[in-house]
Amino acid sequence: MEFNFTFRNVEEMEQQIQVLDTAEIRPITVNGRQIDPYVAIWNTSKDILEMVVLKKDSYLIQHKDAFKPFVKAIKEKGLNVFGNVKNYGGEVIVEALFDDLYVEDDAGSKIHLGVRLTNTYNDRYPMFKGEAFGFRHACNNGMALGQVMMSRFYGKHIKLSDLQKRLLEFITQVFNNAKFLTDNIEKAKKEIIPSEKDAREIFYGEFYSKRLAEKFMEFVELENMTRYTLYNAVTEYATKKARDERQRELLQAGAQRILVTPVRLLRRSAWEEKKKNVA
């Protein structure tokens, strides 16, 4: 899957948010008797069950309401955004990049920065979470950056007024912490990966899968390999080849570890090829 923008400004994003699925809390009954302490979260747009949760965890914020504080916050700050709204019914992800916030690597590649916000009511409980996010134009890669830029938050659904306050603080944090990305990129570019074998063993050690390690290697430029080369290979695979959002999120988390961890501390697993049967 390529990274294709679905909105080019805050007005287009707002329009897409208005038509997202809605849900409601329903009691669970068996033979006419209500089952406590659980309730159902029912997607009323699709008329399907999203999840069953404890009643104490069932405070629910509709998708369109959950993202309104973000729209209000960026309007208050006079910002404009472009990016994607990914609608999966019970889960909605907004990847919003700020027009005026970007860094460049030494190759002149522009990396736009922003946020990745998720509202979900098909996980453990209704939840809203956010983390710093980036988009590298040279290779069309999305970049989860919550760990790299120390900018992320998550939690159960809370009052909308509390959410708007947290989002304002979060946006400010993303702008203030952009330097952490450039610092980590510069360090990663200075650390050489000496061989293709070492690259494979790092991928295998970090992701516990030879299959994934082989897939990542297809995106690695073998000349002048650095830790940043490995990071870009994982983010490119995550952006274009991940089977779903869950895998994409896990791969991006592993990529961030590569970007912030010195080569000597990255996990490695020995790459032992199967012996051919010559009998």
pLDDT at residue 72 tops 70: yes
pLDDT in tens, 21-68: 999 999 998 888 887 889 999 999 999 999 999 988 888 989 999 999
Helices (H) and strands (E) in the chain, counts: 9, 9
As beta bridge partners, residue 52 has 40
Closest among 95, 97, 152 to 129, alpha carbons compared: 152
Two tokens at 6?
């679905």
Q: Helices (DSSP H) in 77-177: which residue ranges?
A: 160-176
Distance of CA 246 to the CA centre of its chain: 9
pLDDT in tens, 248-262: 999 999 999 999 999
Do 236 and 166 contact (CB within 8 A), yes or no? no
Distance between CA atoms of residues 148 and 54, nearest Å: 34
pLDDT at residue 275 tops 60: no
pLDDT at residue 1 tops 80: no
Q: What are phi and psi of 7, to 5 degrees?
A: -140, 145
Can you give the pLDDT at residue 3? 59
Which residue, chain included where needed, has tokens 């910002």?
Answer: 79
**158 burial level (CB within 10 Å; 0-12, 13-18, 19+):** middle
Q: What mean pLDDT is reported for the chain?
A: 89
Q: Which residue has the higher pLDDT, 85 or 272?
A: 85
**272 burial level (CB within 10 Å; 0-12, 13-18, 19+):** exposed
**62 burial level (CB within 10 Å; 0-12, 13-18, 19+):** middle
pLDDT at residue 216 tops 70: yes
Distance between CA atoms of residues 115 and 218, nearest Å: 28
Distance of CA 229 to the CA centre of its chain: 20
Closest among 8, 191, 163, 190 to 70, alpha carbons compared: 163
Which has the minimum average pLDDT: 82-86, 136-140, 196-200, 261-265? 136-140
Can you give the pLDDT at residue 207? 96
Q: Which residue has the higher pLDDT, 3 or 234?
A: 234
Can you give the pLDDT at residue 165? 83
Average pLDDT over residues 103-130: 86
Do 29 and 35 contact (CB within 8 A), yes or no? yes
pLDDT at residue 272 tops 50: yes
pLDDT at residue 154 tops 90: no
Q: Which of 96-100, 167-171, 220-224, 271-275 has the highest mean pLDDT?
A: 96-100
Q: Render 42-54 in DSSP notation, one character per residue.
A: EETTTTEEEEEEE
pTM for the structure as a whole: 0.89
Q: What percent of the chain has pLDDT over 70?
A: 95
Average pLDDT over residues 78-85: 93
